């Protein structure tokens, strides 16, 4: 692939968004090209402008944004930046195919996938009727949808996430485009499906001779399938070259830091190296009196079964249920940390909710610090014990009231549970905010004034003010950038040592799990597959499913060579 003409050449692209005063430069003078059969990775953290580059190439930047400089030369089509909307409608779909992150919202919910696929085929190739149908079947087969004939008549919600993403890819391929732009195509998917989708993309790039721009925040994905990589930050291109070279011998400090922040599955790090301008974790200011631990485990679940009804009917025998937890037993010693890992639908979050008493159980027993969780929920005398388990959720945007000031959000649980007077609660709140790396002034701000990482710190602070013994974290870093994830994981580690917290850490990410837990529980379809000490589980997995998960997980090994800066 040396002398091939590039499919697309982006020259000095600049995209600006008009603000009430001045403008914001989302993409700043970026020059890139993609050759046939090549996968170019665009990597960077949120706000880096990588998605904006993808949208700009397809001219999907809408007011108030605009391409204010540069050219986008598409093979055989000239400069896209100079075309009008009508001309672009002929290019999109036919020459440029796009794949989005969230397949459920990208597909139209109330039309069959056959109708959507045939519409895309009609737009890009002009085929209709039985010819379009034949092509739709061929496309579905190519992306690996079994029984394509029957599947054509189904609606998006009847497919799993991985299948839906395949359909999105099939639609993007409808016009056999020369350029595919995939924006975080596997971020919402489980690891084993991610691996399949990445393999599919790679194969399609080669088979169709198409160029692929793969936009992602995930270094492991970049390492796995891209030929070249471009690192972006604050709208600028930081570094650009063959993937192997950039990952092995990064030149820029930012690239080095980004690579180091990725949690690794092959080893456990004591602390993550955090990026220079990421907020530093303040040192231990106020050693908390650790909980006087009762003997025995902090969390003790025995034979817990939880089912949900998925189909109701007049006759009980026609009803169907799904087991979110099936005879699950789990002991977590006080002061230790357990990681629960599994793919979506494995029941890991349901189990966490049950431990907190947020989810009623059908049979079995859960005790928390020696108290039965069922009794904790109903007995007012045990109110103080109930709050000993606190939860941190995945989405820090959704778990804060957008109209409540941070100070008030943190004081509220203390007042509601009569754990402190207002003045005292105020002091606890401010001290806790400082502990998680925020300032006292932040108490008067509203959630939207914070970044995702800061919001997750606030959520941690909100759990900490209750002086919990058990902290249950449900995917606390999945929505965050790697550098932010590193600081949050460091903070959780420090807090655990400092307060002798028992940690229950739920994640789909094996690498993250390895960094934070003493023991690991692997769950699948509501059942516990394997439970072992972290290192022995990673070094010598016993259960077939655990081995499968590890095999599928993209391994990011480049970081190993960079550990000592």
Partner 1 sequence: MALFLFRRLLQGVLMILVASVLIFVGVYAIGDPMALLVPPDATTETMEAARQSLGLDRPLYVQYFSFLTNALQGDLGISFVFRESALTVIMERLPATLELASTSMFLAIVIGIPFGVIAGMKPGGLADRALLIGSVLGLSLPTFWIGILLILFFAVNLGILPASGRGDTVEVFGVALSFLTLDGLRHLILPAFSLSLLPMAILGRLTRSGVIEAMSLDFARFARAQGNTRAQIVTRYVLRYISMPLVTVVGIYFGTLIAFAVVTESVFSWPGMGKLIIESINQLDRPMVVAYMMLSIVLFMFINLMVDILYSLLDPRVRLK
Residues binding partner 1 (CB under 8 A): 58, 60, 85-86, 89-94, 96-98, 100, 102, 105-111, 119-120, 123-124, 155, 157, 168, 171-172, 174-175, 312-314
CB of 10 to partner 1, least distance (A): 18
How far is it, in rounded angstroms, from Cα 504 to Cα 512? 13
The rounded distance, in Å, linking the Cα atoms of 182 and 171 is: 12
Q: What minimum distance in Å lies between the beta carbon of 152 and partner 1? A: 14
CA dist 508 and 475 (Å) reads: 8
Of 78 and 90, nearer to partner 1 (C-beta) is: 90
CB of 424 to partner 1, least distance (A): 45
User: Residue 182: phi, psi to the nearest 5?
Assistant: -110, 115
Give me the least distance between CB of 530 and partner 1, in Å please.
36
Q: Which CB, 172 or 513, lies closer to partner 1?
A: 172
Q: How far is the CB of 448 from partner 1 (least distance, A)?
A: 18
Nearest approach, Cβ of residue 188 and partner 1 (Å): 12
Spacing of C-alpha 59 from chain mean position: 27
Contacts of 357 (CB under 8 A, 6+ apart): 368, 373, 374, 376, 377, 386, 389
Return the number of the residue (157 or 561) whose C-beta is nearest partner 1.
157
Quick one: 93 or 476, whose CB is closer to partner 1? 93
Residue with Cβ nearer partner 1 (129 or 565): 129
Q: Report CA 107 to chain centroid distance, whole Å.
A: 20
Which CB, 1 or 314, lies closer to partner 1?
A: 314
Quote the DSSP letter at residue 466.
T
Closest CB to partner 1 among 124 and 454?
Answer: 124
> Shortest distance, CB of residue 518 to partner 1, whole angstroms?
40
CB atoms within 10 A of CB 281: 19
Which residues does residue 302 pair with via DSSP β-bridges, in sequence order? 365
* Backbone phi and psi for residue 50, each to the nearest 5 degrees, phi listed first: -70, -40
Which residue from 91, 502, 74 is spatially nearest to 330, judged by alpha carbons? 502
In angstroms, what is the minimal distance from the CB of 48 to partner 1? 20
Nearer to partner 1 by C-beta: 1 or 310?
310
Closest CA to 103 of 32, 163, 36: 163
Packing angle between helix 452-464 and helix 422-435, nearest 10 degrees?
Answer: 130
Q: How many CA atoms lie within 13 A of 549 on its CB side?
A: 27
Residue number, 65 or 476, with CB nearest to partner 1: 65
CA distances 14 to 35, 60, 236, 237, 408, Å, are: 21, 14, 9, 11, 42
Q: How far is the CB of 112 from partner 1 (least distance, A)?
A: 8
Provide the β-strand partners of residue 65: 17
């Amino acid at each position: 692939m040396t002398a091939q003409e590039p499919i697309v050449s982006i020259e000095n692209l600049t995209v600006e968004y008009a603000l009430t005063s001045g403008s914001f430069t989302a993409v700043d003078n970026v020059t890139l090209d993609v050759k046939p059969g090549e996968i170019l990775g665009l990597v960077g953290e949120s706000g880096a402008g990588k998605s904006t580059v993808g949208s700009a190439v397809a001219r999907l930047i809408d007011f108030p944004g605009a391409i204010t400089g540069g050219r986008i030369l598409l093979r055989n089509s000239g400069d896209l930046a100079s075309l009008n909307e009508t001309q672009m409608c002929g290019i999109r779909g036919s020459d440029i195919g796009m794949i989005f992150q969230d397949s459920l919202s990208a597909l139209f919910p109330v039309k069959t996938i056959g109708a959507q696929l045939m519409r895309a085929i009609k737009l890009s190739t002009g085929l209709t009727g039985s010819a379009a149908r034949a092509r739709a079947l061929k496309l579905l087969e190519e992306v690996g949808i079994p029984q394509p004939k029957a599947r054509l008549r189904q609606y998006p919600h009847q497919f799993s996430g991985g299948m839906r993403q395949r359909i999105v890819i099939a639609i993007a391929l409808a016009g056999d485009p020369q350029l595919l732009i995939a924006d975080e195509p596997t971020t919402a998917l489980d690891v084993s499906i991610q691996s399949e989708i990445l393999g599919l993309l790679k194969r399609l790039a080669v088979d169709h001779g198409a160029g692929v721009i793969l936009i992602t925040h995930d270094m492991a994905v970049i390492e796995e399938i891209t030929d070249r990589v471009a690192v972006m930050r604050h709208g600028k291109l930081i570094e650009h070259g063959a993937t192997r070279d950039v990952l092995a011998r990064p030149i820029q400090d930012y690239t080095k830091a980004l690579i180091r922040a990725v949690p690794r599955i092959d080893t456990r790090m004591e602390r993550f190296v955090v990026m220079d301008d990421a907020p530093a974790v303040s040192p231990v200011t106020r050693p908390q009196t650790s909980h006087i631990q009762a003997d025995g485990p902090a969390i003790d679940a025995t034979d817990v079964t939880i089912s949900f009804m998925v189909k109701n009917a007049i006759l009980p025998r026609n009803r169907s249920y799904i087991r979110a937890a099936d005879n699950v037993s789990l002991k977590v010693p006080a002061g230790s940390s357990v990681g629960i890992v599994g793919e979506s639908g494995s029941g890991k979050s349901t189990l966490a909710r049950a431990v907190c008493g947020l989810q009623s159980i059908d049979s079995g027993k859960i005790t928390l610090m020696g108290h039965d969780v069922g009794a904790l929920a109903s007995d007012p005398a045990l109110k103080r014990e109930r709050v000993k388990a606190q939860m941190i959720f995945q989405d820090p945007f959704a778990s804060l009231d957008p109209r409540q000031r941070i100070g008030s959000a943190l004081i509220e649980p203390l007042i509601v549970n009569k754990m402190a007077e207002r003045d005292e609660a105020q002091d606890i709140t401010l001290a806790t905010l400082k502990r998680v790396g925020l300032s006292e002034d932040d108490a008067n701000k509203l959630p939207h004034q914070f970044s995702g990482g800061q919001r997750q710190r606030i959520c941690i602070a909100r759990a900490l003010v209750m002086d919990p013994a058990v902290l249950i974290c449900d995917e606390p870093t999945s929505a965050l950038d790697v550098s932010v994830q590193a600081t949050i994981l460091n903070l959780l580690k420090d807090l655990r040592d400092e307060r002798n917290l028992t940690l229950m850490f739920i994640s789909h990410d094996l690498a993250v799990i390895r960094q934070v837990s003493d023991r690991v529980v692997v769950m699948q379809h509501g059942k516990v597959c394997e439970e072992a000490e972290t290192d022995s589980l990673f070094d010598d997995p016993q259960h077939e499913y655990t081995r499968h998960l590890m095999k599928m997980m993209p391994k990011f090994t480049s970081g190993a060579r960079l550990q000592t800066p």
